[in-house]
Amino acid sequence: GLLKSRLGRKKDCIVVLLCEKNYIMALSAAIIRCCPPLYNDKSTASPDTFNMAVVAVAADAAGVEYMSSGVISSLNAMASGIRLTQSLVDKPPNILNTDAMLEHAKAVCAEQVSGGTVKMEVIRGEDLDKRGMGGLWNVGKAAPAPPALAILSYEPTGTAADAKTVCWVGKGIVYDTGGLSMKGKLDMPSMKRDMGGSAAILGAFQAAIKIGVPYRLHALLCLAENSVDSIAMRP
């Protein structure tokens, strides 16, 4: 709580993290999570930014040592992924619809990656139904921006044919009214965060490809807005 209130002032600061090696990653993530939100569209919003440096120092029975450049690079990649996730979850659904989520996914795939190749496939609209993904299609077909399945893939350079493959799947309902099974007034306001799963997967994918994980990685973003319209799916 003390750190969060300090960072909320948007002033340059240095955070010194002294802990055992095993806790560096988790505690660094917690520190980054305390930073003020990136998204702010208020007319009175301050345009000021601030700089924060986290000095991570490992301490154990053998003594104290500073983190290697490789670990620091991984921590920076993780920080970028966390901030991306935060910014997406903070955005309102009138701005972050399925179109916008796809643009953010494309931007991640367009980033420079030195250890492999990244590609993206999008299955959208009625093509979802034709290819056997009627669940996603029917949930999102009533919304102005059609539903989509975004498939982000990373292949490390020189990957063996029998190398491990990992797949992450994130729920991306950018707003969930409940459709014709309308949610109540107490439940609906928080439904802009129903896309938090896909935001987390996109942020993690960004971090993973920057770090250069040694296995094939796929990230599936299931994107839709559960809206109300004459063509909405009947309960």
Q: What is the dihedral of CA 124, 130, 136, 137, to 10 degrees?
A: 70
Name the band, by pLDDT with cuts 50, 70 and 90, for residue 174. very high
Q: Indicate whether 21 pLDDT > 90.
A: no
**pLDDT, position 115:** 86
pLDDT tens-digit readout, 63-86: 666 677 788 889 889 999 999 999
Predicted pLDDT at 57: 66
% of the chain surpassing 90 pLDDT: 51
Check residue 32 and give its pLDDT: 84
The predicted pLDDT at position 89 comes to 94
Average pLDDT rounded to a whole number, residues 110-130: 94
- Model pLDDT, residue 33: 84
What's the chain's average pLDDT?
86
Render 49-81 in DSSP notation, one character per residue: ---EEEEEEEEETTEEEEPPHHHHHHHHHHHHH
Rg (CA), the chain: 20
pLDDT class of 24 with cuts at 50, 70, 90: confident
Residue 184 scores a pLDDT above 90 = no
pLDDT in the model for residue 51: 65
Task: Indicate the pTM of the whole model.
Answer: 0.87
For 198-223, how does the pLDDT look when each residue is reduced to its tens digit (9 = 90+)?
999 999 999 999 999 999 999 999 99
Q: What is the reported pLDDT for 2? A: 60
Query: What pLDDT score was predicted for residue 188?
Result: 82
Three-state secondary structure call for residue 114: coil
Of 190, 196, 164, whose CA–CA distance to 177 is shortest? Answer: 190
